[in-house]
Amino acid sequence: MTTHRLLTGKVVIATHNQGKLREMRDLLAPYGIELVSAGELGLPEPVEDGYMFSENAAIKAIAATKASGLPALSDDSGVCIDALDGAPGLFSANWAGPGKDFAPAIARVQMELAKRGAHAPEQRKAHFVSALVIAWPDGHQELFEGRVYGTITERIRGAGGFGYDPIFLPDGHDKTFGEMTAEEKHGIPADGSPGLSHRARAFHALAAACLRKPG
């Protein structure tokens, strides 16, 4: 168990992705921590040249803690599609291009799956991964990971969430992440069990190790 906890004070959320920022703010809301994003602090986006989600998450958290002198929390995440040998995976953000427009990224996923003749749901299995890293200014780091398994739909369904949400149908559910409310996608159940999304699941482990609810 970690000796480092996030109990009070300011924490940097080391992301420039507005969708992630919104979800991380929701997930941290019950803990009474003051949050500031890397964007609000004007911190540059570091080059993410790791070979694993956890490495890229560490690169972002360490850069933000060094630049700000505050503990920093980052998420590196992506969708891994079995029929595409795990692509887009680490490159999930890159498939959207510099404009960060997910319509072409989703179109590319559909085209790559069609090229392989993957039309049936069992040929379109995928999972999301979230690696969360907290880095403290004294050099200490903690890593937590979460995954959610599902299927890539043939049609875009729903306008909620961000990124690949409108084409990801989590196993055991009949709504895509794009059709779900924020609470359904990443809310933390009252019974203390992990939530649904990859980020909610990674966050559940982080909360158990490093967070305490005030009062």
Verify binding: residue 26, ligand IMP, rule CB under 6 A: no
89 is in an annotated binding site: no
Question: What is the pattern of x (binds ligand IMP, CB under 6 A) and - over residues 88-107?
Answer: ----xx--------------
Instruction: Name every residue whose Cβ is closer than 8 Å to that of residue 103 and which is 6 or more positions away in sequence.
Output: none
Verify binding: residue 77, ligand IMP, rule CB under 6 A: yes
| Residue 163 per-residue DSSP state | T
Instruction: Name every residue whose Cβ is closer than 8 Å to that of residue 116 and which is 6 or more positions away in sequence.
Output: 83, 84, 123
- The CB-of-139 to ligand IMP minimum distance in angstroms stands at 23
- The CB-of-23 to ligand IMP minimum distance in angstroms stands at 7
CA angle 20, 196, 40 (to 5 degrees): 15
Verify binding: residue 78, ligand IMP, rule CB under 6 A: yes
Q: How far is it, in rounded angstroms, from Cα 178 to Cα 9? A: 34
- The CB-of-86 to ligand IMP minimum distance in angstroms stands at 13
Verify binding: residue 164, ligand IMP, rule CB under 6 A: yes
18 is in an annotated binding site: yes
Verify binding: residue 76, ligand IMP, rule CB under 6 A: yes
Q: In what order do the strands lie in the sheet with 34-37?
A: 34-37, 10-13, 72-81, 125-135, 141-152, 168-170
Q: Which is nearer to ligand IMP, 48 or 55 (CB)?
A: 48
Give the other-Cβ count within 10 Å of 114's Cβ: 11
- Two structure tokens written together for 172: 């055991």
Question: What is the pattern of x (binds ligand IMP, CB under 6 A) and - over residues 123-162?
Answer: -----x--------------------------------xx
Selected binder of ligand IMP within 6, 12, 13, 17 (CB under 6 A) = 17
Within 67-212, strands assigned E span 72-81, 125-135, 141-152, 168-170
The piece of 31-39, 64-72, 77-85, 200-208 that touches ligand IMP (CB under 6 A) is 77-85
Catalytic residue annotation? 76
Residue with tokens 């540059």, as numbered in its chain: 44
Within the chain, strands assigned E span 10-13, 34-37, 72-81, 125-135, 141-152, 168-170
Q: Which is nearer to ligand IMP, 99 or 117 (CB)?
A: 99
Binding residues for substrate: 15-20, 77, 162-165, 185, 198-199
Residue numbers at the binding site for ligand IMP (CB under 6 A)? 17, 48, 76-79, 92-93, 128, 161-165, 177, 197, 199
